[in-house]
């Protein structure tokens, strides 16, 4: 299998999120990429003896979901801070239709992000119906809805903000997060 490489992101200085915070967070992302590759190698070698290595293989496979999703969700997260993208309001119009207004959807995301616990707030698109769902995902692999595309991601694990904010200042981090989202990039994923 072809190994994965950590992506680079064209990030300018962000409002409310320091370069040090982003640097540390990107190191964590690189770890997910590295661990995904290591797990793929181990799974491949264990597959040769799947009967005798069943317990080890099943645990490696479970862990693969955690590392893989950690890799992919961070790619969605960081790409939202890049400049550029397609200018469109199609997503914002869809959110307004479904949630009452774009701001009502943002308020739901913020409220979800403020709940206790670690995880992600995701906007996912059910391609079958076109419905957009705001969901909570803990531990990367728990809570995904099968068959949906991740359109938007807000990381609310403490590693996303504790260089700049205390663990009790998640609300301040979320305010800074909103200031830096490039909706054109999110729109590109939606389209």
The pLDDT of residue 143 is above 80: no
Residues 95 and 154 in one domain: yes
Give me the pLDDT at residue 108, please: 97
The pLDDT of residue 87 is above 90: no
Residues 105 and 129 in one domain: yes
The pLDDT of residue 35 is above 70: yes
Q: Which residue has the tokens 């609300």?
A: 171
Q: Give residue-wise pLDDT tens across range 91-110.
A: 999 999 999 999 999 999 99
The pLDDT of residue 141 is above 70: yes
Query: Is the whole-model pTM more than 0.75?
Result: yes
14 inside domain: no
Give the Cα separation of 62 and 66 in Å (integer). 7
61 inside domain: yes
The pLDDT of residue 146 is above 70: no
Q: What would you report as the CA-atom Rg of the chain, rounded to the nearest whole angstrom? A: 18
Give me the pLDDT at residue 99, please: 96
5 inside domain: no
Give me the pLDDT at residue 12, please: 92
Indicate the number of domains in the chain. 2
**Domain of residue 183, residue span:** 90-190
10 inside domain: no
Are 55 and 153 in contact by the 8 Å Cβ rule? The answer is no
The pLDDT of residue 50 is above 80: no
Give me the pLDDT at residue 19, please: 96
The pLDDT of residue 142 is above 80: no
Residues 121 and 96 in one domain: yes
Residues 69 and 103 in one domain: no
29 inside domain: yes
Q: Give residue-wise pLDDT tens across range 151-180.
A: 999 999 999 999 999 999 999 999 999 999
The pLDDT of residue 67 is above 70: yes
CATH number of the structural domain spanning residue 94:
3.55.40.20
Residues 28 and 106 in one domain: no
Are 176 and 15 in contact by the 8 Å Cβ rule? The answer is yes
């Amino acid at each position: 299998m072809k190994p994965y490489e950590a992506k680079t992101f064209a990030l300018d200085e962000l409002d409310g999120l320091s370069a040090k915070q982003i640097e540390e967070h990107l190191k964590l992302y690189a770890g997910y990429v590295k661990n995904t590759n290591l797990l793929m190698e181990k799974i491949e070698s264990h597959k040769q003896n799947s009967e005798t290595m069943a317990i080890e293989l099943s645990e490696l496979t479970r862990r693969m979901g955690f590392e893989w999703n950690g890799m992919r969700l961070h790619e969605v997260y960081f790409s939202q801070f890049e400049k550029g993208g397609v200018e469109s309001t199609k997503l914002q119009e869809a959110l307004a239709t479904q949630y009452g207004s774009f701001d009502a959807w943002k308020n739901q995301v913020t409220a979800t992000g403020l709940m206790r616990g670690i995880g992600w707030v995701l906007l996912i698109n059910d391609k079958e119906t076109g419905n957009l769902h705001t969901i909570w995902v803990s531990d990367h692999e728990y809570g995904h809805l099968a068959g949906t595309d991740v359109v938007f991601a807000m990381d609310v694990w403490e590693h996303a903000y504790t260089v700049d904010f205390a663990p009790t200042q998640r609300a301040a981090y979320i305010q800074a997060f909103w200031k830096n989202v490039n909706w054109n990039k999110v729109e590109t994923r939606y389209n």
